[in-house]
């Protein structure tokens, strides 16, 4: 039985989608116990209007969000993090703000042995497929937890990303690369060059060298490692590209009936483009590095996205993600 | 009369397209004097087979490229750079390797007053239009000359990018932003935060704050500034996205006649996508920071791209790009 604590007030989405996602999942899975954290009255009311299995869902109350001038305290994530830190849950799911989540996790949780900084990992759509399930996604980390990463941090990100891909994509030997401005060892910042050297002889990582920005949309490797500054710029750019393609399509769609025909055919053919329009909803991004499992769902998640995020948290626990990372971080003999 | 020295042996393209581009331009413009540098016999032979105005084209000989084991000396760019450094030309155009070009320029040329590092600026396609000519491109710099940039470097890049956009896009007041991982002054590396502060009160730059990766394909500003590492990763990614979209379209095109119809209609409508397929050919990237004008053409340039690059060099000289940058770098009163 996996116990997942869920921040029900995080993100821009309000209580509705979070509670709905949990309610749906309670009817599907009997291996997940959920704790919804937030305004208890509101959550209970929302739950009451949805079919759900009440044996699988508990509610933990948090004070309503208080605003004093400009500062906004987000009590639900605090209460949820406390439950996780005290061992009242194995995993946490939130659609709340990344910076708050990272700050709170760093403050309250223990890092896994050898890890000094957390990494947020996110999938993005690629042209090439990945792993035995032929996923049209690759994993990118860090996308915003650790702005500047040392060589050691980058190496630990590689271990963590590899472990996560092994579990979530059932990929026994994911290929891992460093994101740089050229293929050679001589390219990149000093941290990247040093990490490159370490990873070249790392027993737990199938390191294939550097990739360039060019390779991200192509998806030539399964896991791409970079620091949080570069990762968040690059990841936001992938979002921007998606939006532009969608805008162009919508614009054309509206303009002319013939185009409508053209675009309909196109959209049937180019599944990748469709996938791109809602890939953020595919299960959330793990915040890696801690003893517990933490999944950050997109701040605009719908019920399905929240349900997927809870499922991913459960999968990570069932397949012992922390143990997998721990083994990967063992010192080289 | 603008004197442009052209590296005729640079890049992957060989002498053919470079000489053809120069030959074409010699018939069009009587304000540009060109010096083609490379194997004189080969250049003269190639020129002989093309219509051109011989009064506008000189040839300067460089030793044939010699290879000793693994090292390859590219003599043509050296000879061309010498001609520029000695004042024998006002501008240089090359399709050769960026790193070689930057190293050689740094070694032989003088920086403009106040500039400590060079920046390579490149245009990329955007959803939004820019300037009075409604260009579907925005300028990004640095994309690979200065891997790690200080706050002062970023400020000088902003001045240089602004000056270049003013001249090339006839945009009297281009909007300039720093690329960061968030909109606020508190986001970004210390160098970005400090540059943000300086630029906020810079008299020569219409600074509008930070943009995120999301804004690059959108094109919400005219000039985006970042360090060379981030810029080259991001720029390569834009190339990758272009390739993937093109691949998807080509794939679909081949598969089915109906799709062919759909795609033809689509390609007529979405001009932006077509533009994306050859935007690298639109005139080359200036290497900014030196007294002379240097234009780096894409290494896979065709004759038209080379001709455009020479034209851009001429425009930069005619509109006194160096003077414009010089004035922008004047200390704040």
> How far apart are the C-alpha atoms of B316 and A316, rounded to whole Å?
57
The answer to whether B329 and B159 have CB atoms below 8 angstroms apart is: yes
State mean pLDDT over B288-315. Answer: 94
What radius of gyration do chain A's Cα atoms show?
20
> How far apart are the C-alpha atoms of B300 and B296, rounded to whole Å?
11
The answer to whether A56 and A49 have CB atoms below 8 angstroms apart is: no
**What's residue B245's pLDDT?**
65
Q: Write the DSSP assignment of A38-103 as a string of letters.
A: E-HHHHHHHHHTS---TTSEEEEE-PPPEEETTEEE-HHHHHHHHHHHTTS-SEEEE-S-HHHHHH
Q: Is B148 in Cβ contact with A243 (below 8 Å)?
A: no
Look at residue B270 and tell me whether its pLDDT is greater than 90: no
> How far apart are the C-alpha atoms of A270 and B115, rounded to whole Å?
47
Burial of residue B255 (CB within 10 Å: 0-12, 13-18, 19+) is: exposed
Q: Which of A242-246, A257-261, B274-278 has the lowest mean pLDDT?
A: A257-261
In terms of domains, do B135 and B104 share one? Answer: no
**What's residue A12's pLDDT?**
81
Q: In this structure, what token pair is assigned to residue B17?
A: 């397209």
Buried b (16+ CB within 10 A) or exposed e, B29-41: beebbbbbbbbee
The residue among B265, B275, B299 with the most chain A CBs within 10 A of its CB, best to mutate, is: B265
pLDDT range class, residue A269, cuts 50, 70, 90 = very low
Look at residue B333 and tell me whether its pLDDT is greater than 50: no
pLDDT range class, residue A256, cuts 50, 70, 90 = very low
pLDDT range class, residue A64, cuts 50, 70, 90 = low
**What's residue B205's pLDDT?**
97
Q: What angle do CA B287, B291, B292 make, to 5 degrees?
A: 60
The distance of B273 to chain A (nearest Cα, Å) reads 9
Q: Which of A277-281, B45-49, B189-193 has the lowest mean pLDDT?
A: A277-281
| DSSP symbol at B290 | B
Q: Which residue matches tokens 């290494």?
A: B299
In terms of domains, do B110 and B2 share one? Answer: yes
Look at residue B286 and tell me whether its pLDDT is greater than 60: yes
Who wins on pLDDT, B136 or B273? B136
State mean pLDDT over A259-269. Answer: 46
The distance of B268 to chain A (nearest Cα, Å) reads 9
The answer to whether B202 and A199 have CB atoms below 8 angstroms apart is: no
Is residue A130 a part of any domain in this protein?
no
The distance of A25 to chain B (nearest Cα, Å) reads 33
Chain A residue whose CA is closest to B247: A127
For residue B254, the chain A residues in CB contact (below 8 A) are none
In terms of domains, do B126 and B207 share one? Answer: yes
State mean pLDDT over B73-85. Answer: 88
For residue B244, the chain A residues in CB contact (below 8 A) are 127, 217-218
Look at residue A150 and tell me whether its pLDDT is greater than 60: yes
Look at residue A238 and tell me whether its pLDDT is greater than 90: no
Q: Which residue matches tokens 């820019």?
A: B130
Look at residue A225 and tell me whether its pLDDT is greater than 80: yes
Phi, psi of B315 (to 5 degrees): -60, -45
Is residue B66 a part of any domain in this protein?
yes
In terms of domains, do B310 and B225 share one? Answer: no
- Mean pLDDT of the residues in chain A: 87
**What's residue A245's pLDDT?**
65
> How far apart are the C-alpha atoms of B184 and B161, rounded to whole Å?
22
CATH number of the domain to which A57 belongs: 3.40.50.10950
Q: In this structure, what token pair is assigned to residue B152?
A: 């002062």
**What's residue A157's pLDDT?**
98
State mean pLDDT over A282-297. Answer: 93
Is residue B260 a part of any domain in this protein?
no
Q: Is A247 in Cβ contact with B269 (below 8 Å)?
A: no
pLDDT range class, residue A11, cuts 50, 70, 90 = confident
Domain boundary among B220, B243, B266: B243
Q: What angle do CA A296, A300, A301 make, to 5 degrees?
A: 65
State mean pLDDT over A8-27. Answer: 91
Q: In this structure, what token pair is assigned to residue A208?
A: 């294939």
State mean pLDDT over B24-37. Answer: 95
Q: Is B212 in Cβ contact with A244 (below 8 Å)?
A: no
Is residue A177 a part of any domain in this protein?
no
pLDDT range class, residue A258, cuts 50, 70, 90 = very low
Q: Is B229 in Cβ contact with A235 (below 8 Å)?
A: no
**What's residue B25's pLDDT?**
96
- Secondary structure tally for chain A: helices H, strands E: 12, 13
Coil, strand or helix at A110:
coil
In terms of domains, do B233 and B326 share one? Answer: no
For residue B33, the enclosing domain spans 1-115+289-333
> How far apart are the C-alpha atoms of B165 and B177, rounded to whole Å?
13
State mean pLDDT over B300-329. Answer: 94
Look at residue A71 and tell me whether its pLDDT is greater than 50: no
pLDDT range class, residue B300, cuts 50, 70, 90 = confident
In terms of domains, do B229 and B201 share one? Answer: yes
Who wins on pLDDT, B300 or A272? B300
Provide the percentage of residues in chain A whose pLDDT is more than 90: 68
In terms of domains, do B228 and B127 share one? Answer: yes
Structure confidence by residue, pLDDT tens digits, A119-144: 999 988 888 888 888 888 899 999 99
In terms of domains, do B236 and B314 share one? Answer: no
Q: Structurally, how many domains does chain B consist of? A: 2
Is residue A162 a part of any domain in this protein?
no
CB nearest to B270's CB, from A230, A237, A248: A248
- List the beta bridge partners of residue A35: A5, A58
The residue among B224, B240, B248, B266 with the most chain A CBs within 10 A of its CB, best to mutate, is: B240
Task: State how beta strands A66-68 and A71-73 pair.
Answer: antiparallel
For residue A239, the chain B residues in CB contact (below 8 A) are 213-214
Chain B residue whose CA is closest to A229: B181
Chain A residue whose CA is closest to B231: A181
Burial of residue B156 (CB within 10 Å: 0-12, 13-18, 19+) is: buried
The distance of B152 to chain A (nearest Cα, Å) reads 19
> How far apart are the C-alpha atoms of A65 and A7, rounded to whole Å?
13
**What's residue A218's pLDDT?**
87
State mean pLDDT over B169-186. Answer: 93
For residue B241, the chain A residues in CB contact (below 8 A) are 217, 241
**What's residue B249's pLDDT?**
57
Q: Is A243 in Cβ contact with B256 (below 8 Å)?
A: no
Q: Is A228 in Cβ contact with B230 (below 8 Å)?
A: no
Task: State how beta strands A32-38 and B175-179 pair.
Answer: unpaired
Provide the percentage of residues in chain A whose pLDDT is more than 70: 84
CATH number of the domain to which B177 belongs: 3.40.718.10
**What's residue B2's pLDDT?**
96
In terms of domains, do B131 and B98 share one? Answer: no
In terms of domains, do B111 and B141 share one? Answer: no
Look at residue B71 and tell me whether its pLDDT is greater than 80: no
Is residue A157 a part of any domain in this protein?
no
CB nearest to B252's CB, from A232, A248, A266: A266
Candidates B298, B307, B273; CA nearest to B96 is: B298
pLDDT range class, residue B1, cuts 50, 70, 90 = very high
**What's residue A254's pLDDT?**
47
Q: Which of A81-90, A162-171, A297-306, B60-69 has the lowest mean pLDDT?
A: B60-69
Q: Is B266 in Cβ contact with A266 (below 8 Å)?
A: yes
In terms of domains, do B43 and B96 share one? Answer: yes
> How far apart are the C-alpha atoms of B78 and B7, rounded to whole Å?
9
Is residue A36 a part of any domain in this protein?
yes
This model of the complex carries an ipTM of 0.82
Q: In this structure, what token pair is assigned to residue A292?
A: 């517990």
pLDDT range class, residue B212, cuts 50, 70, 90 = very high
**Angle formed by the axes of helices A151-168 and A303-318, nearest 10°:** 100
For residue A232, the chain B residues in CB contact (below 8 A) are 181, 212-213
Is residue A59 a part of any domain in this protein?
yes
Provide the percentage of residues in chain B whose pLDDT is more than 70: 84
**What's residue B68's pLDDT?**
57
Q: For residue A192, how far is the Cα from the chain centroid?
A: 23
Neighbours of A184 (CB within 10 A): 12
- Secondary structure tally for chain B: helices H, strands E: 12, 13
Coil, strand or helix at A178:
strand
Q: Is B217 in Cβ contact with A248 (below 8 Å)?
A: no
């Amino acid at each position: 039985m996996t116990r997942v604590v869920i921040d029900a007030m995080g993100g821009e989405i309000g209580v509705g989608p979070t509670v709905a996602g949990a309610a749906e999942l309670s009817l599907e899975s009997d291996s997940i116990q959920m704790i919804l954290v937030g305004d208890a009255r509101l959550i209970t009311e929302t739950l009451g209007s949805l079919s759900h299995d009440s044996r699988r869902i508990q509610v933990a109350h948090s004070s309503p969000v208080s605003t004093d001038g400009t500062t906004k305290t987000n009590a639900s994530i605090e209460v949820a993090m406390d439950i996780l830190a005290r061992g009242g849950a194995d995993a946490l799911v939130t659609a709340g703000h990344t910076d708050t989540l990272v700050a709170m996790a760093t403050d309250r949780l223990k890092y896994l042995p050898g890890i000094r900084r957390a990494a947020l990992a996110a999938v993005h759509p690629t042209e090439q497929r990945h792993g035995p399930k032929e996923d049209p996604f690759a994993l990118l980390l860090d996308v915003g937890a650790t702005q500047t990463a040392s060589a050691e941090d980058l190496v630990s990100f590689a271990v963590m990303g590899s472990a996560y891909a092994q579990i979530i994509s059932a990929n026994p030997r994911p290929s891992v690369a460093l994101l740089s401005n050229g293929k050679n060892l001589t390219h990149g910042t000093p941290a990247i060059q040093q990490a490159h050297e370490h990873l070249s002889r790392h027993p737990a990582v199938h390191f294939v060298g550097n990739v360039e920005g060019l390779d991200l949309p192509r998806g030539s490797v399964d896991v791409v490692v970079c620091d949080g500054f570069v990762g968040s710029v690059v990841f936001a750019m992938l979002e921007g590209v998606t939006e532009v393609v969608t805008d162009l399509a919508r614009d054309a769609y509206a303009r002319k009936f013939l185009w409508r025909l053209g675009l309909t055919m196109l959209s049937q053919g180019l599944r990748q483009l469709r996938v791109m329009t809602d890939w953020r909803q595919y299960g959330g991004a793990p915040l890696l590095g801690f003893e517990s499992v933490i999944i950050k769902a997109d701040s605009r998640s719908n019920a399905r996205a929240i349900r997927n995020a809870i499922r991913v948290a459960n999968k990570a626990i069932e397949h012992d993600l922390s143990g997998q990372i721990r083994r990967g971080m063992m010192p080289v003999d």
